[in-house]
């Protein structure tokens, strides 16, 4: 047997198997990377993309299979070993220490400097490296002072400083605004031009076709397309390879005349957990029969906004009016009794009680009233019947309603939460990232439920980081940036409108709508 | 009631708190809360005293005390780092364990008589400086001077060296450190050990310098808890820990002295005539500690004070981003 590999491959993974308790994350996966290419790894959430790359980056050890780098067999016992072989990974959650400077983060874990830090010297080195690859960032800045895009650049610099030739980017665009995405793509192209290779993990089709030379598609831990040249494949084909069936991209949204104002938020100001201002005067309203989106890059006050509205966070100033009643800075029960429904971001800890059964979780808003309440006792028979009804109506896939919800998949758990919230026939619902981490089928289900709420005349506030989701579901979209509303746009059609996306993108990076309009009218004469 | 004497004695007895607090700063900077400081100090004080009796050499006593307290700290390290148990519970248990062991092994030590203590001396020239000279540099124990050196060293180590950078990274964001090849577990074991050694040094400072002898659990009298509170109060900074330690030391001495004279500021001294008022005064440092610990245990406030972000949470590899 010969180990000779064509020199045209820099990384070769053969028959990789990786098991987690109860899950076969990678089932004999092959993957090849050529020098100087951008190779996309496409697949749904849970398809095994990140697992495969964590194996390559030395974070996990494969249960079977071999890895070759430049033709020779390698075994990585740690991320450090992988970096020494020239393979660096930029994780979805940045691995940066917020309280330290850019330079300190880059030097972390290296043998040089030996003992004394001599930061000035290294600051200059890192500034130089940044210039070479078009990665501008101040080496003396502390990480918490940087925008998400800048932090990503630090992660890239960290790997480049260590001499990485293969850069693995795990869903790098998930945290970026549209303009920042274009900047990232330029950087990646510059790196490839200088001889580096890039593996680009994504579940977004349009990005893959925009940036990658070749694409490998994973579905449920198996390769469904290996190293296909992206020129000449359509989005439809890729989607079918990824999901395993035809995917409908359009959503059935009927035109509807909105009714009166249900939720009115006036000049809201609130602080985050660290005591810094998170909301700096947010005003918005939602009418009956209307889905209103809130767009923005993660961490611009969306979480705090939803919490103040739901009554989980106190605000310093401003009001939340629901059906004419002030609901802010009161307990959550007051809001619930006045028609509030809340689908929180954190399904497992805020949205549900993981160790309790489906029944217990769905009666949480019902147990105070008959038929489930009988004086000071609970009628468990009535509760079980109620849960069974919901299981039927919302298509919740569980063996019995006594199953603890921690055993449910993300999609099923979200259906439990939505079933509980919607069965209360709310006038208003605030939903935060309701489809995050769900597979395509489950996403469709959630979208249908939200649109159904719009049909019956409820007001829905949808807070999401997925711009496409907002554009296809919402009637109007507010854009939030650093706790302020940058502007509001009407969504006329479900087809994506390029100039509208650009406008929203600019607002997401901090340009108010008025300014965009002013500059626009100047440019057009 | 001479302010110079109160401050001078305050610096001496504050050195006990300083060592313990510096040790706890290091351990907490690596992300491990160790509430067992009181227990480690007790075992340090006991072993320093008994080893000095046996060998006649207080230096050996100090070294053994540091080593023994360091060993005890590894019980906590194993429970919270390897077994990933709750740090608060384990720390409390460690205090009970340390106190129990030292009471049993220290049985009869209190009647052992006098031993040779750590040497006291004045620093030439520096002791001539008005006010500061007599407070800081006159007839202080060698351990007090070691405390002066240790504080800036600890600060420089944490903020300006490579191992210090790694220490901060492990306490702030262990996953990031791990991804870059830093051994989070080994680092945490090491700094818990260092913290234990310094707590032991604090204990030895009591039994061989500040208040010589072994008086069972009254030897430390809860100073380990004050040290833990000081760390929060000092916002995990060695210099602030030093200021706080000396201030507390001076306060202890003031509370003692204020109960002495029959006449205070030209009036009948109520603290002399009414012992209950004296007890109330003696309670104050502990009341302060309780308040600081209660406030410091609230996560939101800890964040605002700048606590190491991973403080109190075990590091489990691969928990994020599969």
- CATH number, domain of A329, equals 3.40.50.300
Residue A3 maps to a domain: no
How many domains does chain A fold into?
3
List the one residue out of A68, A58, A7 whose CA is nearest residue A35.
A7
Separation in Å, CA B255 to CA A444, A447, B131, B211, B282? 71, 69, 21, 16, 7
CA gap A39, A56 in Å, rounded: 14
Q: What is the pLDDT of residue B296?
A: 78
> Cβ–Cβ of A59/B166 closer than 8 Å?
no
Residue A255 maps to a domain: no
Examine the fold and report which residue of A399, A425, A451 is the final residue of a domain before the chain moves on.
A425
Residue-wise pLDDT for B78-101, tens only, equals 999 999 999 999 999 999 999 999
Confirm or reject contact between A209 and chain B (CB < 8 A): no
Burial class (CB in 10 A: 0-12, 13-18, 19+), A475: buried
> Cβ–Cβ of B322/A107 closer than 8 Å?
no
ipTM, two decimals: 0.81
* Residue A383 φ/ψ, nearest 5 degrees: -65, -45
What domains can you pick out in chain B, each with its CATH number?
3-117+136-302 (1.10.3470)
Supply the pTM of this predicted model.
0.74
Confirm or reject contact between A307 and chain B (CB < 8 A): no
Examine the fold and report which residue of A425, A455, A486 is the final residue of a domain before the chain moves on.
A425
Residues A125 and A236 in one domain: yes
What confidence category does residue B104 fall into, taking pLDDT thresholds of 50, 70 and 90? Answer: very high
Examine the fold and report which residue of A384, A402, A425 is the final residue of a domain before the chain moves on.
A425
Smallest Cβ distance to A273: which of B177, B300, B306?
B300
Q: How far is B157 from chain A (nearest CA, A)?
A: 9
Q: What is the pLDDT of residue A525?
A: 44
- Residue position matching structure tokens 């928990």: B319
Burial class (CB in 10 A: 0-12, 13-18, 19+), B220: buried
Residues A298 and A405 in one domain: no
How does the average pLDDT of chain B come out, rounded? 90
Residue of A nearest to B305 (CA): A274
Q: What is the pLDDT of residue A32?
A: 94
Q: What is the pLDDT of residue A2?
A: 45
Q: How far is B164 from chain A (nearest CA, A)?
A: 9
DSSP A249: -
Residues A387 and A440 in one domain: no
Residues A453 and A430 in one domain: yes
Separation in Å, CA B33 to CA A225, A471, B24, B85, B191? 50, 47, 8, 12, 11
Residue A266 maps to a domain: yes
Residue-wise pLDDT for B209-265, tens only, equals 999 889 888 899 899 999 999 999 899 999 999 999 999 999 988 888 888 777 777
**CA-based Rg of chain B, rounded to a whole angstrom?**
20
| Chain B residues close to A275, C-beta within 8 Å | 300, 303-304
Residues A70 and A172 in one domain: yes
Residue-wise pLDDT for A448-459, tens only, equals 899 999 999 999
- For range B261-286, the mean pLDDT: 82
Smallest Cβ distance to A80: which of B181, B318, B321?
B181
Structural tokens at position A520? 């626009």
Residues A110 and A176 in one domain: yes
Residues A214 and A310 in one domain: no
A374 lies in which domain range? Answer: 350-425
Residue A344 maps to a domain: no
Give the best residue of B159, B168, B169, B186 to mutate against chain A (max A CB count within 10 A): B169
**CA-based Rg of chain A, rounded to a whole angstrom?**
25
Cα angle A452, A455, A460 (rounded to 5 degrees) comes to: 75
| Chain A residues close to B162, C-beta within 8 Å | 107, 113-117
Q: Which residues of B touch A (CB under 8 A)?
A: 160-163, 165-166, 168-169, 172-173, 175-182, 299-300, 303-304, 306, 309, 318, 320-322
Confirm or reject contact between A54 and chain B (CB < 8 A): yes
Residue A86 maps to a domain: yes
Residues A97 and A188 in one domain: yes
What confidence category does residue B322 fall into, taking pLDDT thresholds of 50, 70 and 90? Answer: very low
Structural tokens at position A454? 């719009």
Residues A221 and A131 in one domain: yes
Confirm or reject contact between A195 and chain B (CB < 8 A): no
Burial class (CB in 10 A: 0-12, 13-18, 19+), A323: middle
Residue A256 maps to a domain: no
Element (H, E) at A501: helix A498-508
- For range B175-196, the mean pLDDT: 92
Smallest Cβ distance to B304: which of A92, A108, A275?
A275
- Please list the ranges in chain A whose pLDDT falls under 50: 1-6, 525
Residues A275 and A131 in one domain: no
> Cβ–Cβ of A116/B163 closer than 8 Å?
no
Residues A420 and A433 in one domain: no
Are the C-beta atoms of A10 and A34 separated by less than 8 Å? yes
At B269, is the secondary structure helix, strand, or coil?
coil
Residue A238 maps to a domain: yes
What confidence category does residue B321 fall into, taking pLDDT thresholds of 50, 70 and 90? Answer: very low
Residues A197 and A325 in one domain: no
Confirm or reject contact between A369 and chain B (CB < 8 A): no
Residue A59 maps to a domain: yes
| Chain B residues close to A274, C-beta within 8 Å | 300, 303-304
């Amino acid at each position: 047997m010969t180990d000779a590999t064509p020199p045209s491959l820099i990384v070769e993974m053969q028959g990789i198997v990786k098991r987690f308790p109860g899950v076969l994350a990678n089932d004999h996966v092959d993957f090849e990377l050529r020098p100087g290419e951008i190779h996309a790894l496409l697949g749904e959430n849970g398809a095994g993309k990140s697992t495969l790359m964590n194996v390559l980056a030395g974070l996990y050890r494969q249960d079977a299979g071999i890895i070759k780098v430049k033709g020779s067999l390698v075994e990585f016992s740690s991320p450090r070993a992988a970096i020494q072989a020239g393979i660096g990974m930029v994780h979805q959650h940045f691995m940066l220490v917020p309280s330290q400077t850019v330079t300190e983060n880059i030097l972390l874990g290296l043998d040089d400097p030996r003992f004394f830090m001599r930061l000035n010297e290294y600051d200059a080195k890192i500034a130089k490296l940044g210039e070479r690859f078009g990665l501008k960032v101040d080496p003396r800045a502390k990480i918490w002072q940087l925008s998400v895009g800048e932090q990503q650049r630090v992660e890239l610099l960290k790997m480049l400083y260590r001499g990485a030739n293969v850069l693995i980017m795990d869903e790098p665009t998930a945290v970026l605004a549209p303009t920042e995405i274009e900047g990232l793509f330029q950087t990646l192209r510059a790196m490839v031009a200088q001889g580096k290779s890039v593996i680009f993990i994504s579940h977004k089709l349009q990005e893959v076709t925009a940036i990658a030379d070749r694409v490998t598609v994973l579905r449920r831990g198996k390769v469904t397309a290996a190293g296909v040249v992206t020129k000449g494949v359509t989005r439809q084909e890729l989607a079918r390879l990824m999901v395993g069936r035809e995917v409908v991209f359009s959503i059935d949204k009927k035109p509807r005349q909105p009714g009166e104002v249900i939720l009115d938020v006036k000049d809201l100001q609130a602080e985050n957990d660290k005591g810094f201002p998170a909301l700096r005067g947010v005003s918005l309203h939602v009418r009956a029969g209307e889905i209103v989106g809130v767009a923005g890059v993660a961490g611009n006050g969306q979480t705090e906004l939803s919490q103040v509205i739901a009554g989980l966070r106190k605000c310093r100033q401003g009001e939340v009016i629901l059906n004419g009643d002030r609901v802010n800075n009161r307990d959550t029960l007051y809001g619930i009794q006045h028609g509030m429904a809340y689908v929180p971001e954190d399904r497992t800890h805020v949205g549900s009680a993981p160790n309790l059964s489906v029944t217990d979780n769905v009666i949480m808003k019902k147990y105070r009233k008959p038929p489930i309440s009988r004086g000071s006792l609970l009628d468990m028979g009535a509760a079980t019947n109620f849960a069974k009804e919901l299981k039927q109506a919302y298509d919740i896939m569980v063996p019995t309603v006594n199953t603890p919800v921690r055993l449910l998949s993300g999609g099923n758990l979200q259906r439990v939460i939505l079933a509980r919230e919607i069965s209360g026939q709310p006038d208003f619902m605030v939903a935060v990232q309701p489809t995050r981490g769900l597979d395509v089928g489950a996403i469709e289900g959630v979208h249908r439920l939200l649109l159904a709420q719009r049909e019956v005349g409820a007001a829905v506030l949808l807070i999401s980081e997925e711009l496409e989701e907002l554009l296809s579901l919402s009637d109007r979209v507010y854009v939030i940036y650093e706790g302020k509303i940058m502007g509001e746009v009407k969504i006329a059609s479900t087809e994506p409108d390029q100039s509208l996306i650009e406008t929203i993108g600019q607002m997401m990076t901090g340009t108010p709508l008025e300014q965009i309009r002013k500059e626009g009218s100047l440019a057009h004469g | 009631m001479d302010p110079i004497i109160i401050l001078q004695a305050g610096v001496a007895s504050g050195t006990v708190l300083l060592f313990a607090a510096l040790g706890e700063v290091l351990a907490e900077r690596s992300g491990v809360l160790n509430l067992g400081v009181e227990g480690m100090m007790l075992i340090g004080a006991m072993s320093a005293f008994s080893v000095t009796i046996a060998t006649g050499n207080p230096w050996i006593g100090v070294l053994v005390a540091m080593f023994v307290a360091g060993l005890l700290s590894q019980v906590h390290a194993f429970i919270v780092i390897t077994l990933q148990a709750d740090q608060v519970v384990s720390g409390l248990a460690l205090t009970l364990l340390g106190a129990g062991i030292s009471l049993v092994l220290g049985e009869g030590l209190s009647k052992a008589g006098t031993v040779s203590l750590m040497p006291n001396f004045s620093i030439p020239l520096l002791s001539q400086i008005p006010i500061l000279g007599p407070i800081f540099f006159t007839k202080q124990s060698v351990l007090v001077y070691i405390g002066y050196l240790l504080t800036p060293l600890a600060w420089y180590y944490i903020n300006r060296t490579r191992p210090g950078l790694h220490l901060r990274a492990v306490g702030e964001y262990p996953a990031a450190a791990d991804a870059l090849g830093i051994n989070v577990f080994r680092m945490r074991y090491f700094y818990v050990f260092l913290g234990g050694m310094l707590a032991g040094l604090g204990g030895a400072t009591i039994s061989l310098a500040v208040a010589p002898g072994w008086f069972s659990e009254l030897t430390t009298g809860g100073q380990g808890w004050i040290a833990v509170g000081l760390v929060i109060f000092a916002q995990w900074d060695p210099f602030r820990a030093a200021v706080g330690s000396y201030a507390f030391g001076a306060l202890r001495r003031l509370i003692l002295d204020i109960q002495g004279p029959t006449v205070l500021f030209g009036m009948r001294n109520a603290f002399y005539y009414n012992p209950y008022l004296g007890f109330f005064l003696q309670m104050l440092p502990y009341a302060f500690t309780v308040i600081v610990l209660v406030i410091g245990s609230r996560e939101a406030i800890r964040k605002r004070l700048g606590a190491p972000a991973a403080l109190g949470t075990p590091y489990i590899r691969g928990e994020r981003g599969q």
